[in-house]
């Protein structure tokens, strides 16, 4: 539940963390800023402005920086005018990309997911973003929901393509142990996901979305030309990234990862006591870094550059995995083209099998 006093205290702590951060020099250049996790659009434009000022004072921001704000299609209730004005203020602050979890255009499926919005809210939010001046919008859809049919998934894709956002993230449902859905499936309250149906949904997704002019640039991500997510591409390409705030994660681009306190109250208390909010440290040894590099770069449809891999790790992936690569190639899961190892469309669907073979 949103509480204004808590939000104000949190923003002060966040700005303080950014200001005092000393991992790298102040002149470091960044070209992407991402407001995500929870629903940052519930913050006021003034609070977002304060955060941006802290970032701008700590880093060197390039002119073409991609600045993304996550939001919920149901934000703002019924007061459309107030919501539209708030979005316009966000855009005036320099936020130039919006992302929201549509999930599905089916109201029954949204209710089953426990979402607070309905299908009409999706179109309404999209239109409000356009009116506010957002020319780069992403939203997410999930395929393979319990009892979802191929026809209902096709309708989801059709509704999404009618709106024609610049970016689409289209995911197959994953059931994680310990979640309510996993418990419902275990108790027979929901059917188990149908792998064959999910595969057909994935094939339909690629066919319809690419036919509409989108580029399939990552396993689950599609964009109109020139609208790849710059921020997420940094994750997949192994570039360094720095996170601030509750639950934020960071990576130095080589071997070191760290993460902040997950509890909001504890995070704020640590900052207010001039203590580090970092509660987790991970050091990747050379083998871990190598394995992770393969996994992440293969998520991109342009694939893994084999010469770059050799330069970084001093190893020839083709020599190390000759038998595995032959098996995966014969199964139609990979291809080697112009010095890059790439997933095929079938390989993207069965990517976990490829990753496991090359781990």
Statement to judge: residues 294 and 226 lie in one domain: no
Look at 26-40, 83-97, 138-152, 200-214 and tell me which has the smallest mean pLDDT: 26-40
CATH number at 299 reads 1.10.10.10
Tens of pLDDT, residues 235-244:
999 999 999 9
Query: Which residues are CB-contacts of 223 (< 8 A; sequence separation ≥ 6)?
Result: 166, 167, 168, 214, 215, 217, 229
Contact call for residues 340 and 305 (beta carbons, < 8 A): yes
**Could you write out the DSSP letters of every residue in 274-338?**
T---EEEEEE--HHHHHHHHHHHHHHBTT-EEHHHHHHHHS--HHHHTHHHHHHHHHTTSEEEET
Helices (H) and strands (E) in the chain, counts: 16, 13
Closest CA to 105 of 127, 124, 81: 124
- Give residue-wise pLDDT tens across range 98-117: 999 899 998 888 887 778 88
Task: Write the DSSP string, 67-119.
Answer: EEEEE-TTTTTT-HHHHHHHHHHHHHTT--EEEEEEE-S-HHHHHHHT-S--H
| Residue 280 within a domain | no
**Residues 233, 293: one domain?**
no
* 216 and 321 co-located in one domain: no
Q: Give Rg (Cα) of the chain.
A: 22
Question: Do the domain assignments include residue 1?
Answer: no
Q: Give the end of a domain, one of 237, 254, 269.
A: 237
The residue segments making up the domain with residue 339 are: 289-357
| pTM for the predicted model, two decimal places | 0.91
The structural domain count of the chain equals 2
Q: Are residues 233 and 296 in the same domain?
A: no
Q: Are residues 229 and 295 in the same domain?
A: no
Of 192, 207, 107, the residue nearest 154 (C-alpha): 207
Q: Could you tell me if 296 and 222 lie in one domain?
A: no
Identify whether residues 293 and 206 lie together within a single domain: no
Q: Per-residue pLDDT averaged across 48-76, rounded?
A: 91
What is the per-residue pLDDT for 27?
A: 67
Q: What are phi and psi of 335, to 5 degrees?
A: -150, 150
pLDDT digits (tens, 9 = 90+) for 162-184: 999 999 999 887 766 766 666 77
Pairing state between β 256-260 and 249-251: antiparallel
């Amino acid at each position: 539940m949103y509480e204004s006093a808590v939000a104000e205290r949190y923003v002060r702590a966040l700005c303080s963390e950014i200001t005092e951060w000393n991992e790298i020099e102040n002149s470091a250049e960044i070209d992407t800023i991402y407001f995500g996790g929870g629903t940052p659009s519930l913050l006021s434009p003034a609070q977002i402005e304060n955060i941006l000022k802290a970032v701008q004072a700590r880093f060197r921001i390039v002119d073409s920086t991609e600045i993304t704000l996550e939001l919920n299609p149901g934000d703002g209730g019924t007061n459309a005018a107030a919501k539209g004005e708030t979005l316009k203020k966000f855009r005036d602050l320099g936020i130039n990309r919006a992302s929201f979890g549509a999930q599905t255009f089916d109201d029954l499926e949204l209710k089953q997911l426990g979402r607070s919005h309905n299908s009409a809210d999706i179109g309404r939010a999209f239109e409000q973003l356009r009116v506010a001046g957002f020319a780069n919008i992403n939203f997410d859809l999930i395929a393979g929901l319990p009892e979802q049919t191929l026809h209902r998934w096709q309708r989801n894709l059709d509704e999404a393509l009618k709106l024609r956002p610049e970016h689409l993230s289209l995911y197959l449902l994953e059931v994680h142990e310990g979640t309510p859905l996993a418990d419902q499936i275990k108790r027979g309250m929901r059917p188990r996901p149908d792998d064959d149906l999910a595969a057909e949904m994935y094939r339909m997704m690629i066919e319809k979305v690419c036919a509409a002019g989108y580029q399939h640039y990552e396993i689950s991500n599609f964009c109109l030309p020139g609208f790849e997510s710059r921020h997420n591409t940094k994750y997949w390409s192994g570039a360094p990234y720095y996170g601030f705030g509750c639950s934020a994660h960071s990576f130095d681009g080589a071997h070191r990862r760290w993460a902040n306190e997950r509890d909001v109250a504890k995070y704020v208390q640590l900052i207010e006591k001039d203590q580090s909010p970092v509660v987790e440290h991970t050091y990747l040894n050379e083998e871990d870094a190598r394995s992770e590099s393969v996994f992440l770069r293969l998520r991109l449809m342009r694939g893994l550059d084999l010469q770059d891999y050799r330069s970084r790790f001093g190893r020839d992936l083709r020599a190390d995995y000759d038998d595995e690569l032959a098996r995966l190639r014969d199964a139609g899961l990979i291809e080697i083209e112009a010095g890059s190892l790439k997933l095929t469309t079938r390989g993207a669907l069965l990517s976990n099998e490829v990753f496991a073979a090359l781990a």
